[in-house]
Amino acid sequence: MMKYARFLALLFTVAALLYAFADAYPRQFCSPNGEVCLGPLDCCSRQCVNAVCCDELLGTCLIDYPE
């Protein structure tokens, strides 16, 4: 029984790592700060204001988002 539990744990770990890689991979090709964007998915920070990527944490967004 322990063999199956270890196998399932290993399988789950590999699946989680593959999911994390697949999720992060497209972000390598997102627009850098200051580039033109069409929406939040075009930006690494997921913030597109007036067609420009910005990052609120870095203070590069021109407007504050309502909380």
Domain ranges of the chain: 1-29, 31-67
Task: Tell me what percent of the chain is helix, strand and coil, each rounded to the nearest 5.
Answer: 50, 10, 40
The answer to whether 57 and 63 have CB atoms below 8 angstroms apart is no
How many Cα neighbours within 13 Å face the side chain of 55? 11
pLDDT of residue 41: 79
| Model pTM above 0.75 | no
Q: What would the pLDDT profile of 13-56 be if each residue is shown by its tens digit?
A: 988 877 766 655 554 446 554 567 888 777 777 888 888 778 77
Query: Would you say residue 59 has pLDDT above 70?
Result: yes
